[in-house]
Structure 1
Amino acid sequence: MTNLQSYHTFSLPSGCESLIVITDPHALVELDFSRPFFLIGEGSNTIFLEDYAGTVIKLATLGVDIEQQDDDYIVTVAAGENWHQLVTKLLDNGIDGLENLALIPGTVGAAPVQNIGAYGVEVSQFITAVRGFDIAERRFTTLTNAECEFGYRDSVFKHRLKDKFVITEVTLTLPKHWQPTLSYGPLQSLSDTATAQEICEAVIVTRNSKLPDPTTLANAGSFFKNPVVDRAFAAQLQSKFPEMPAFDVDNDHVKLAAGWLIDKAGLKGCHRGAIRVYEKQALVLVHSGGSTGEDLTQLVSHIQQTVWQKFAVLLEHEVRLITKHGECQLQSVECHENA
């Protein structure tokens, strides 16, 4: 059994039958995918709740290629590259666009799976192609943006292609005629003339003020998705809670702030064992060491039930939770029956 505690940033005690580190994507052709397996990058959005009965495959491929065109930069990046380091590398080279996504933990290969987003920007706005290994066909193939079926913190890689496609490379198209995105709260105070570098620095300051460094306090970043509800229901909630933040999604739906809901439900600091709701940002769960997957599942269930009872809103976890036999979705029975 290989110890996995250092391979996921929440650092629960866990292991797997075997661990394979991939530094050359062509090595995927030689792997036996008929046995249970799970893919990871830096483990910043994955928590192993217990020992995994299979092989964990870590993508550690590196490489960044930049092609300059008349109106755009075409940036092709290996899956194992660190996301934040890519953002800063591009900014240092005068290539703007990803600054709102600074300091998001994880690898480039994980970014399309989750369709990472922050401060009014999602990575899907820039992805033009995702290349990877088709397990069933035993060959490499490239998907277009449309074929990735991106949604809010969602993609085809979580559904139809889950466990069937290994992302090895992501291609981003970043326009030379850059325009800042300053619509999200902390960035609204910036001038319209703010540079991409200034926006990046503001994002880093904001994130550091709310999110603990996983190397000093174990966490997996934002734990819950911001729930999307219909506009009429949101209006009902705001009549009871006028201070409740809500953000337009489309004509019929708005997005609520999961952290605000958890905070107003009185859950900051709530804990099970050494796992607790972070005092500086209720959207984050932290682990100070010594707890188990059972402690985490109990705390998640308590948060879901408490928020449901107060707001009639179901919270879904954004972090991928892995049990002995694979990924699971936690949803308290009480919430499900009342939904």
Structure 2
Amino acid sequence: MSTTPSSLIPFNTFGLEQSARHLVVLEQRSQLQTLWRERGEEPLLFVGEGSNLLFTAPFDGTVLVNRLTGITVTDAGDAWRVRAEGGENWHRLVCWTLAQGMPGLENLALIPGTVGAAPIQNIGAYGVELAQFCEAVESFDWQGGEIRHWSAADCRFGYRDSVFKHEAGHHLILSVTLRLPKAWQPVLGYGPLAELGGQASAQQIFEQVCTTRQAKLPDPKVLGNAGSFFKNPKVVQAQAQALRLAWPELPVFAAEPGRAKLAAGWLIDKAGLKGARVGGAGVHVRQALVLVNLGGATAEDVIRLATLVRERVEQQFGVRLEPEVRMVGRRGETSLDEALACLN
């Protein structure tokens, strides 16, 4: 086991100055039982690369950083079964599977974070979600001190949601097993991918996704951010149709029966919020869905900016945005409303 100073700057891509009472880096599974036996009553938070986190306050507990690595592949006949340890970088896994001739994850290229974080949020992009490929998840149950195995159904995946998201500090994701069908089918229904044509290869899709993301999304190493801050909201069809009458250019996508998904970035942009800032936090000038650290931002700056964005969009469109970024307060998971209340 290795420990590091309690600063959380290296473990949140927003680059905010926050701290934890204790910080532990998990590098071997053999550490788990010792850590579990020595656990106290203080809060516990599992972190990968901190790419989808906003620490709203200093954390009064232990942050456990997952650095377990390793990838194995088995031939399942009509598919490849890829098992990756939770500390593996997600984008590197996407690149590796493509290099091995195992397509399927190309639409999910350049999503920041680790494999262990992927099922928590049920990551998704360009018409593809992790849930479409996830066969099993392995976790360490921090309450019972044992390893648990989850089928995809057990994970209760939803839009940027899973059972793990609602049991923070309970399950540490040790590995994820993906099933990549050998009969690969391209997914080309979103944005610039449709321009590639039906004969596009997985590599072409991968390259287009990378080009598009790099053009729109700021590199957190240059400009601190946590990726898409808000979820694309879902509304009933009647509301979507009414909004399209008022704003014909509004992007609307199919969702479950009776509902439609709207583009949160478009709503924020049309509300005149691109470039808006509160203190050191701002709405990115090229992608309104991303809130960024313009330099010296505090958690309070980000919280107040996110609140401003949500209020303006709701006033103009009657649509309430929900944060996609996980917010962590002093004792664990929190919400934007709770974080704001702590400031006032």
The bucket for the TM-score relative to the shorter chain is over 0.9
The reply on whether 1:291 has 2:312 as its aligned counterpart is no
Give the whole-Å Cα distance in 1 for the aligned partners of 2:72 and 2:274: 44
CA distance in 2, matches of 1:169, 1:331: 33
Separation in 1 of the partners of 2:105 and 2:267? 28
1:314 corresponds in structure 2 to 320
The alpha-carbon deviation at position 33 of structure 1 amounts to: 5.4
* Whole-angstrom CA distance in 2 between matches of 1:33 and 1:45: 26
Instruction: Summarize the alignment of residues 43-54 of structure 1 with structure 2, pairs less than 5 Å apart.
Output: 43-54=50-61
1:250 Cα deviation from its structure 2 partner = 2.3
Q: Does 1:254 align with 2:254?
A: no
Partners of 1:316 and 1:70 in 2: how far apart? 41
Q: Relative to structure 1, is the Cα distance of residues 270 and 194 closer, same or farther in structure 2, using a 3 angstrom cutoff?
A: same
CA shift in 2, pair 1:47/1:256, >3 Å? same
Aligned to 1:270: 276
Aligned residues: 333
Of 49-58 and 195-204, the range deviating more from structure 2: 49-58
- Look up the SS of the partner of 1:152 in the other structure: coil
For residues 88 and 170 of structure 2, what CA distance do their matches in structure 1 show? 21
| Matched AA of 1:259 | G
Alignment of 1:165-204 (within 5 A): 165-204=171-210
Identity of aligned residues (%): 48
- Which amino acid is 1:109 matched to? G
d(CA) in 1 for partners of 2:53, 2:281: 16
Q: Is the 8 A contact 2:42 2:60 kept in 1?
A: no
Deviation at 1:318, TM superposition (A): 0.4
Of 86, 92, 100, the match for 2:93: 86
Contact 2:43/2:169, CA 8 A, preserved across alignment:
no
Give the Cα separation in 2 of the matches to 1:125 and 1:166.
22
2:149 alignment partner, SS class? strand
Partner residue, 1:219: 225
Please name the residue that 1:336 is paired with: none
Within a 5 Å distance, the mapping from 1:151-162 to structure 2 comes to 151-159=158-166, 161-162=167-168
Distance in 2 (alpha carbons) for counterparts of 1:287 and 1:162: 26
CA contact (8 A) 2:225 2:291 kept: yes
Aligned to 2:145: 138
How far the C-alpha of 1:303 sits from its partner, in A, is 0.6
Structure 1: gaps of 5 or more residues:
334-339
> Which residue does the alignment assign to 2:108?
101
2:118 corresponds to which of 111, 120, 128: 111
For 1:30, which of 31, 34, 45 is the aligned residue? Answer: 34
4+ residue runs of structure 1 moved beyond 3 angstroms?
A: none
The residue matched to 2:296 in structure 1 has which SS?
Answer: coil
TM superposition shift of 1:237: 1.1
Residue among 77, 81, 91 paired with 1:70: 77
In 2: Cα distance, 1:34 partner to 1:252 partner = 45
Q: Among 229, 239, 262, which residue is 1:233 paired with?
A: 239
C-alpha separation in 2, matches of 1:79 and 1:200: 22
Partner of 2:342: none
Q: Assess if the C-alpha contact under 8 Å between 1:12 and 1:49 holds in 2.
A: no
Q: Which residue in 2 is equivalent to 1:21? A: 25
How far is the alpha carbon of 1:138 from its aligned partner? Answer: 1.2
Equivalence for 1:8:
12
Q: 2:45, 2:256 → 1: CA distance?
A: 35
Question: 43-52 or 324-333: which moved more?
Answer: 324-333
Q: Which moved more, 1:76-85 or 1:290-299?
A: 290-299
| CA drift at 1:332 | 9.1
